[in-house]
Structure 1
Amino acid sequence: MTDLRTLFDAGVAAVGGDTSVATSLTADPVAPPDQIIAVGKAATAMARAAHEVFPETPLLIVTKYHHAEGAPAAADVMEAAHPVLDENSIAAGTRVLETVQNMSADRHLMLLVSGGASALVEAPADGLSLDDLSSRAQQMLASGADIHAMNAARMQASRIKGGKLLGAFRGARVTTLAISDVEGDSLQVIGSGIGAAPVEPAFTFEARIVASNAIARAAVCRAATDAGLIVGHDEETLYADVNAVAPRIAAALKNASPGVHLFGGEPTVVLPPDPGLGGRNQALALLLAREIAGAQGLQILVAGTDGTDGPTDAAGAIVDGETWEASGQEALDRADAGRWLDARGALLKTGPTGTNVMDLVIARKS
């Protein structure tokens, strides 16, 4: 029987950083760049594929701690914090900005951008310190602000976000390849616009979205169909607070026909003053467990495609009609869903996946 983890893995494999970049460069080749800069949670995988095509090009990778495994030996690798930036984020942002600024007039820059870049690379606007930026980021994360609100604030506080990085480029050409972790797949939003061009670029600019939530969901659907399963819902609608998302999805599943049902996107969660351990996917999974308590023949996987959920090493969780217990409400109130689910063997741990196209909810109803 095809299980939910197998379906999730099929979706993630289709949007892997190496697969996505290799496919794009094979289908539509570009001239060799003079410098490659990869930033984000999927930076290592994306850079590995680009290095295969352009092995002589200098390569700078900036990624999350413990996400650099498999980086080309020739690469210059920097690691920093996510989701709240740290001193290494500032060092990486300074290095990236200097690299771009120092490229001469005839040069070609390739930028590989994936989710997480907003925290991993930063050059603060004048007058702002690391403490200022960290405090703002923590406040916005706790408030449940969506990606658009967070990115707007990040762009104002940065010298490299919102097209400002490439505003410092004096070369001839930029090629940006991006993995989308935002609704609408806008390059102005991915990584807070670090790979976007200024309004009137003085260079040739080409941008491609090489992977997205839609591509991952299509792969899940293919895997389910190939296994002889019927696919019902296939929606990118996870754009609300988890407390609003959970009852809506649960109601749809209770009324659905047998088969596989799929939802994508990125919900938000509001944190209490002293939160426990967990992320938005673990919170949503526990809320769904409460909503489907007692239901027979229904299993739900909720996970981040990057393999991490909030400040944890779990991607999310898998729940069913028997998961919920009354003590789960206290865990929800404390934002401690991770510990509660872990104690019941429900967490899903994949390790870093080499991609980041938001989240997937995959349900199977028999």
Structure 2
Amino acid sequence: MHPEQALTAIWQAGVDAVRGDNAITLALAQQKIQRPDRILAVGKAASFMANGAQKYFGGDIPTLVVTKYEHVGVISPTIEVIESAHPVPDENSLHGGSALANAVADMPKDSHLLMLVSGGASALAELPVDGLSLENLQAENNRLLSQGLDIHAVNTRRKALSDIKAGKLLARFKGARVTTMAISDVEGDELSAIGSGIGHATDKTPFEFVPYIVASNKIARMTCAALATKLGISVIANEEILYDEVFALSKRLGKIARTTQPGLRIYGGEPTVVLPPEPREGGRNQALALALAREIVDEINISILVAGTDGTDGPTSAAGGLVDCTTWTSEGAVALQSADSGSFLRQRNALFTSGPTGTNVMDLALILKV
């Protein structure tokens, strides 16, 4: 199998293992979850997670999905869907946040709510604190996203601006039990950080609260490793270490790739990138892929795939980049400087596009040396 084909197949296997419908159906069966009276799903994988719940319980439970534009997929007509923007909220995000808040508040005594949460919920559903306009909220999100902050720092500020994050949504619940099932897109898999805590409940809640993490970057990486081994590829490393700025990461990972033995290195996490005042096309995965292409320009035996497991990298329709020693040219430096890695990778036939995947467990970087 050609290295590019192998990397694509390995990445896809990891993503499929944490797809929302698969993860939810399995978790509901394993945990023997009681039938809920209402299902609320929010995040990039929300429609897939809702489909998994309907497959398990049947299609007659009132269900609301709030997800990203073009991330609905094939979904039951009985499910109410609100599509909104990511990574910066829009008017529909406020509609989604209001709909979630009303649905939670309207649930009666003794009711059971099933919350399905995945990454992206911070922007996709929002109810700003009193006095904060949508325009100001968007400006603050743009400012946060341009500074190269990690997700915990970004979400700390988002929580302060929101009336449904950090346990505030479930504080409206007057029923008996909330079960939250989440696909983790954060380091440490903390529910209070996923979607800025939109599915989290504080310790003082009067209802029973039972949370589960049903999919994570670790599960995706382990599945990648299993397929690589089946294909006869030695797995040299399998780590969640992509928590640095893209240029620092590219230097470090490029050196490792050049100087160590053949095999596959699997890395997970979420890099950061500092954007110029007027960024062009691309996201953190495309930037990291292009920066790594510079590091392996003389290495004919190395191929690298860097992609977001949700299938979208920043405000683009691409997931990332698939590069080798032929990808880099001197024009790449300008593309990196102007945050235009997407345009460059497209011109070099190195843009990696998967379409929405039905999950979101941060990013995967696969470095194959043959």
TM-score by length of 2: 0.98
* TM-fit CA distance, 1:199: 2.6
Q: Structure 1 vs Structure 2: percent identity of aligned residues?
A: 52
Secondary structure at the aligned position of 2:333 is classed as helix
Residues 232, 256 of structure 1: 8 Å contact kept: no
- Alignment-derived partner of residue 8 in structure 2: 5
- Alignment-derived partner of residue 33 in structure 1: 36
- Alignment-derived partner of residue 172 in structure 1: 176
Matches within 5 A, 1:262-273: 262-273=266-277
Distance in 2 (alpha carbons) for counterparts of 1:180 and 1:255: 33
Matches within 5 A, 1:239-258: 239-258=243-262
* TM-fit CA distance, 1:263: 0.5
TM-score by length of 1: 0.99
2:230 partner amino acid: D
Matched, 1:80 2:116: no
- Alignment-derived partner of residue 21 in structure 1: 24
Matches within 5 A, 1:196-345: 196-345=200-349
Matches within 5 A, 1:115-130: 115-130=119-134
Secondary structure at the aligned position of 1:263 is classed as strand
| CA displacement, residues 293-350 of structure 1 (integer Å, 9 cap, x when unaligned) | 1112000000000000011110001011121111100011100000000011000110
| CA displacement, residues 73-123 of structure 1 (integer Å, 9 cap, x when unaligned) | 100000000000000000110010000001111100000000000000001
Distance in 2 (alpha carbons) for counterparts of 1:12 and 1:281: 16
Secondary structure at the aligned position of 2:307 is classed as strand
Q: CA RMSD in A?
A: 0.7
* TM-fit CA distance, 1:3: 1.2
**Structure 1: where are the runs of 5+ without partners?**
none
1:11 partner amino acid: G
Matched, 1:155 2:159: yes
Residues 240, 267 of structure 1: 8 Å contact kept: yes
Secondary structure at the aligned position of 1:162 is classed as coil
Corresponding residue pairs, total: 366
Structure 2 counterpart of 1:102, from 98, 103, 106: 106
Residues 298, 321 of structure 1: 8 Å contact kept: yes
Distance in 2 (alpha carbons) for counterparts of 1:53 and 1:96: 22
Secondary structure at the aligned position of 2:321 is classed as strand
1:111 partner amino acid: M
Q: Which moved more, 1:198-207 or 1:39-48?
A: 198-207
Q: Which moved more, 1:189-198 or 1:53-62?
A: 53-62
- Alignment-derived partner of residue 361 in structure 2: 357
Residues 92, 120 of structure 1: 8 Å contact kept: yes
**Structure 2: where are the runs of 5+ without partners?**
none
- Alignment-derived partner of residue 89 in structure 1: 93
Distance in 2 (alpha carbons) for counterparts of 1:95 and 1:24: 26
Distance in 2 (alpha carbons) for counterparts of 1:111 and 1:343: 42
